[in-house]
């Protein structure tokens, strides 16, 4: 049994979420040596023909309570909606709140019935903070059994994410590690060290994958450095090494990133297929798709394929109304043989126990890498890469270095200069002030406030919704972050 030597973390410090100051302890718990043993799985791969995995992504950004006024308090968007639940479009706020606590209820009922439900969960740091700040600790308490009840721990897999729901391609590279470690701090503070030790997979905001060589390399390296063993990847954001679309989507792949100096890093990728239509999860489409599949060859062994989908867990009538019953019916009809539901880490652990390690997974790469590397030749240098990018932009239709996400109609970079420029300025000021500071200064109140504002202003929501109050929020938060970063 895992026993963490560290005392519990305070969830709030000086009115702010606990996002920093315990890096050594977090790193120790997030590495293989500090992890609790895997939960015992009831499944044996030789008796499984195909598996499916479903995940729920839960997020609410931070907003300004009284518009974009310079002194407006920062609150969670759920609280903002609750305070205006009489306004059309915000009347669903109480139902949203129920959705955040719903996973425990769904899983416990099925376990009590002798079933083996599985569900992956991705809760942003902003949401966890917003719930506590608005006095809805009852929602967090409702989730706690998933991290302490031995019957439920195997059923729910928590996935890590960026604290501020930041899209990687449009987030300054030095800030990636700040988001990763901040989420780990807050998750450990809310649910405990052992719960953090069980977090092995990563769910990227907006399913966004960078494809610029230096950014994708830095991203995968940061994930590995923070203890992550695999990540979710949208199928159309990656390619085979020869540049073609994926030939295999239902087996784990090894995502390879190479930087402009030729250095490589890789991480296991589980492929999320098709689009981001909530109906795929809301109506449990992965279950029926898995029923049509059969074992296939991997590393010289026949193993079950995995159909994987993740969706917003609260948005839209499908997830609010159709998903709970569809989820219950799906798992009520399943046992431990044939078609089964699994979580991502459980599936990978069973593969490893069956003699199929990560090294046997076929490699893939971020989109457009083949078009790039074909132009650099064997000698990879920053200068050659820069020239190759410009050549490919002129010659290759559709080539781009802004990465890809769950949706093809949002670039996340182009068209958002009015938000990205202030955000980049805030980041530069933060690092200029704190990167060379003494370690003790990186956990005092000034640092915490500056870090909180920086991470908050980088959320994708301020760009996804385009102009209007969301862009106003971004500019004001960037202004506060820049001012705090510049303060001496």
How far is C-alpha 465 from the chain's CA centre?
A: 20
Question: Shortest CA distance to 53 belongs to which of 395, 310, 393?
Answer: 310
Segment 209-232 shows an average pLDDT of 96
- Residue 4 clears pLDDT 60, i.e. is over it: no
- Average pLDDT over all residues of the chain: 91
What are the beta bridge partners of residue 157?
120
CA distances 276 to 273, 308, 311, 326, Å, are 9, 12, 7, 18
Between CA 448 and CA 411 the distance in angstroms is: 31
Per-residue pLDDT at 414: 55
Q: What angle do CA 307, 180, 51 make, to 5 degrees?
A: 10
Q: Radius of gyration over alpha carbons of the chain, in Å? A: 22
Tally of CA atoms within 13 A in the half-sphere of 391 that contains its CB? 12
The residue whose two tokens read 């420029």 is 421
Rounded CA separation 232/208 (Å): 10
State what percent of residues in the chain have pLDDT above 70.
Answer: 93
Residues sharing a CB contact under 8 Å with residue 97, sequence separation 6 or more, in sequence order: 78, 82, 136, 139
Q: Going along 196-313, which residue ranges are E strands?
A: 201-202, 230-234, 238-239, 253-258, 264-272, 296-298, 301-303, 306-312
Distance, CA of 476 to CA of 205 (rounded, Å): 22
The reported pLDDT for the residue numbered 411 is: 53
For residue 433, what pLDDT is reported? 93
Q: Which of 279, 260, 343, 303 is nearest to 42 (CA)?
A: 343
213 versus 66: which is more confidently predicted? Answer: 213
Mean pLDDT of 189-209: 95
Give the number of residues written for the chain: 488
pLDDT of residue 112: 98
- Residue 1's pLDDT is 42
For residue 9, what are its two tokens?
């973390």
Burial group, residue 403, by CB count within 10 angstroms (0-12, 13-18, 19+)? buried
User: In the chain, what percentage of residues exceed pLDDT 90?
Assistant: 77
Q: What is the pLDDT of residue 427?
A: 94
Q: What is the pTM of this model?
A: 0.95
pLDDT in tens, 377-426: 888 999 999 999 999 999 988 888 877 766 555 554 555 667 788 899 99
Strand pairing category for 201-202 and 238-239: unpaired
Cα–Cα distance measured from residue 115 to residue 334, given in angstroms and rounded to the nearest whole number? 8
The answer to whether residues 195 and 158 touch, using CB atoms and an 8 Å cutoff, is yes
Contacts for 424 with CB less than 8 Å, ≥ 6 apart: 172
Helices 369-376, 382-395: crossing angle, 10 deg rounding: 120
- CA angle (207, 213, 217) in 5-degree steps: 70
Structure confidence by residue, pLDDT tens digits, 149-193: 999 999 999 999 999 999 998 899 999 999 999 999 999 999 999
Give residue-wise pLDDT tens across range 94-110: 999 999 999 999 999 99
Beta strands per DSSP E along 153-304 = 156-158, 201-202, 230-234, 238-239, 253-258, 264-272, 296-298, 301-303
Report, as an integer, the average pLDDT of 195-224.
96
In this predicted structure, which of 128-137, 270-279, 283-292 has the lowest mean pLDDT? 270-279
């Amino acid at each position: 049994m895992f026993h963490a030597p560290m005392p519990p973390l305070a969830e709030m410090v000086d009115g702010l979420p606990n996002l920093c100051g315990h890096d050594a302890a977090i790193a120790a718990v997030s590495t293989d040596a500090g992890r609790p043993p895997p939960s015992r799985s009831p499944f044996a791969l030789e008796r499984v023909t195909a598996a499916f995995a479903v995940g729920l992504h839960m997020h609410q950004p931070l907003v300004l309570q009284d518009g974009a006024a310079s002194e407006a308090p920062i609150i969670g968007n759920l609280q903002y909606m609750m305070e205006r639940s009489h306004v059309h479009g915000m009347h669903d706020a109480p139902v949203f709140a129920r959705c955040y606590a719903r996973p425990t209820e769904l899983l416990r009922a099925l376990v009590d019935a002798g079933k083996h439900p599985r569900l992956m969960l991705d809760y942003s740091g902003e949401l966890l903070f917003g719930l506590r700040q608005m006095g809805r600790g009852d929602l967090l308490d409702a989730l706690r059994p998933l991290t302490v009840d031995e019957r439920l721990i195997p059923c729910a897999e928590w996935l890590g994410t960026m604290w501020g729901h930041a899209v990687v391609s449009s987030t300054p590279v030095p800030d990636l590690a700040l988001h990763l470690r901040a989420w780990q701090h807050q998750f450990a503070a809310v649910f405990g060290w052992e719960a953090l030790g069980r977090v092995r997979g990563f769910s990227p905001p907006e399913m966004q994958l960078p494809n610029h060589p230096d950014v994708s390399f830095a991203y995968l390296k940061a994930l590995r450095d923070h203890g992550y063993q695999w990540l979710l990847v949208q199928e159309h954001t990656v390619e085979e090494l020869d540049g073609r679309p994926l030939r295999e989507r239902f087996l784990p792949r090894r995502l390879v990133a190479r930087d402009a100096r030729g250095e490589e890093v890789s991480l296991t990728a589980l492929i999320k297929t098709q689009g981001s239509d909530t109906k795929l999860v809301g109506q449990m489409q992965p279950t029926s798709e898995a029923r049509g599949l059969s074992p296939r060859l991997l590393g010289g062994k026949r193993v079950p394929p995995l159909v994987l989908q993740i969706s917003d867990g609260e948005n839209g009538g499908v997830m609010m109304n159709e998903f709970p019953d569809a989820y219950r019916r799906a798992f009520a009809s399943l046992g431990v043989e044939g078609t089964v539901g699994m979580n991502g880490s459980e599936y990978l652990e069973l593969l490893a126990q069956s003699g199929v390690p990560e090294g046997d997974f076929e490699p893939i790469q971020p989109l457009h890498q083949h078009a790039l590397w074909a132009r650099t030749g064997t000698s990879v240098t920053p200068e050659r890469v820069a020239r190759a990018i410009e050549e490919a932009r002129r010659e290759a239709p559709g080539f781009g270095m802004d990465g890809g996400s769950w949706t093809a109609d949002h670039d996340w970079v182009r068209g958002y200069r009015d938000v990205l420029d202030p955000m980049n300025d805030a980041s530069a000021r933060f690092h200029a002030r704190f990167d060379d500071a003494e370690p003790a200064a990186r956990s005092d109140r000034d640092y915490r406030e500056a870090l909180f504002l920086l991470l908050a202003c980088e959320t994708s929501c301020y760009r996804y919704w385009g102009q209007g109050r969301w862009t106003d929020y971004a500019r004001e938060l960037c202004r506060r972050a820049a001012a705090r970063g510049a303060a001496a």
